[in-house]
Amino acid sequence: MSSRTKARKRALDILYGADLRERPLADALAEEALRATQQPQREGSWPYAREIASGVDEHRAELDALIAEHAHGWTLERMPVLDRAIIRLGAWEILFNDEVPEGVAIAEAVQLASELSTDDSAGFVNGVLSAIAHSR
């Protein structure tokens, strides 16, 4: 597993946990930063995970507006928390990280959904992120 893939999973854990617990993302990031200093074996994935989570936090209103626009028939509140976090992560990579090709961002998000969420989630994530990518 590549270091970026590990970082995405770590960022997803941060985003999902903060959303599920309805706590500020800044608090979850601070907690994870402390954990990163205590677990040097995980140090390689921390910088990009922090970049993703911070980026999602910084651009959340814009990301959520685009997600709501392209998630036909689904409101953000109605989406499963995990799927919402995966889509936010993927949308941030598509829109704000020029180093990651759109196809890679979508494929990585779909893989996370396939591994961690429901049977229908991968298709849903793919559809929403593809629509966001095409709307750029």
| Phi and psi at residue 97, to the nearest 5° | -125, 95
Residue with tokens 């601070």: 30
Q: Is the dihedral of CA 130, 134, 135, 136 positive or negative?
A: positive
Residues 6+ apart with CB under 8 A from 32: 10, 14, 46, 49, 50, 53
Q: For a pLDDT cut of 70, what percent of the chain falls above it?
A: 99
Strands (E), the chain: none
**Residue 34 pLDDT grade (very low, low, confident, very high; cuts 50, 70, 90):** confident
Q: Which two tokens stand for residue 49?
A: 């995970």
pTM of the model: 0.94
Answer CATH for 3-135 from 1.10.940.10, 3.40.50.620, 1.10.760.10, 3.30.300.30: 1.10.940.10
- Model confidence pLDDT, tens digit, residues 5-33: 999 999 999 999 999 999 999 999 999 88
Q: Domain-by-domain residue ranges, the chain?
A: 3-135
